[in-house]
Chain A
Amino acid sequence: AQTVTQSQPEMSVQEAETVTLSCTYDTSESNYYLFWYKQPPSRQMILVIRQEAYKQQNATENRFSVNFQKAAKSFSLKISDSQLGDTAMYFCAFMKNTNAGKSTFGDGTTLTVKP
């Protein structure tokens, strides 16, 4: 079974600064996908970024980028130029290549962006 660990229950960052959220996972699979989801106070789940394990290049979406270290089984999320709207709970998730959407989620990191 896969496990996903987010070791930072809460974090805070000043507006316009950069913050990195950590995520590690454990799996024996070689083909899989990793995701970061954002859940703001409205509780809607929003996909932030997606990484295919077979791709060495780190995924980037505007101010959001990941540092994917496959050998270390690490998948951290970097948020640059933090904005107040980035305040949310962030979940790291793992999905096997054959699992048709079924994902394992970490416990989440609550991020607060301070003005």
Chain B
Amino acid sequence: GAVVSQHPSWVICKSGTSVKIECRSLDFQATTMFWYRQFPKQSLMLMATSNEGSKATYEQGVEKDKFLINHASLTLSTLTVTSAHPEDSSFYICSAVNWDSRNQPQHFGDGTRLSIL
């Protein structure tokens, strides 16, 4: 149980385009989802926390207009990288928790490798 599906796993696109990454909880209701960014051989950097039906809370230094997060349902959150540029290239990971199981560890998606040419 507690499976989180993240799609796509790898995307390459041209500079200036927008890219949407989906994060779905397949067998539980995700009241809270987290979005992370990870550079090679570094730790996970929390970008934002999204709660179903409300606006995401962004960490300091993360551009809200650049990284649009939507959590419209209990099973789906999306991260849209708007007008992507090469410096946005990175590995993005989502995770999800259910408030009823809030003392359990978060369940991670498999990540998305984003490459901007």
Across-interface contacts of B106 in A (CB, < 8 A)? 101-103
Q: Does B77 contact A (CB under 8 A)?
A: no
- On whether A47 and B43 interact (CB within 8 A), knowing A101-B34, A101-B97, A102-B34, the answer reads no
Q: Report how far A95 CA is from B106 CA in the complex, Å.
A: 10
The answer to whether B43 and A107 have CB atoms under 8 Å apart is yes
Count of B interface residues, CB-CB < 8 Å = 24
Min Cβ gap B41→A in Å is: 7
The answer to whether B97 and A43 have CB atoms under 8 Å apart is no
Question: Closest B-chain residue to A6, C-beta based?
Answer: B43
The answer to whether B97 and A35 have CB atoms under 8 Å apart is no
Q: Does B78 contact A (CB under 8 A)?
A: no
A37-61 to B contact mask, C-beta < 8 Å, 1/0: 0000011110100100000000000
Q: Report how far A35 CA is from B103 CA in the complex, Å.
A: 12
Question: Closest B-chain residue to A52, C-beta based?
Answer: B103
The answer to whether B41 and A89 have CB atoms under 8 Å apart is yes
B94-117 to A contact mask, C-beta < 8 Å, 1/0: 011101001111101011000000
B24-35 to A contact mask, C-beta < 8 Å, 1/0: 000000011010
* Chain B residues near A (Cβ < 8 Å): 31-32, 34, 38, 41-44, 46, 49, 91, 93, 95-97, 99, 102-106, 108, 110-111
**What would be 27 A-B contacts, judged by CB atoms less than 8 Å apart?**
A33-B103, A33-B105, A35-B105, A43-B38, A43-B93, A43-B110, A43-B111, A44-B108, A44-B111, A45-B44, A45-B93, A47-B105, A50-B105, A89-B41, A91-B43, A95-B105, A100-B97, A101-B32, A101-B34, A101-B96, A101-B97, A102-B32, A102-B46, A102-B49, A103-B106, A106-B43, A107-B43
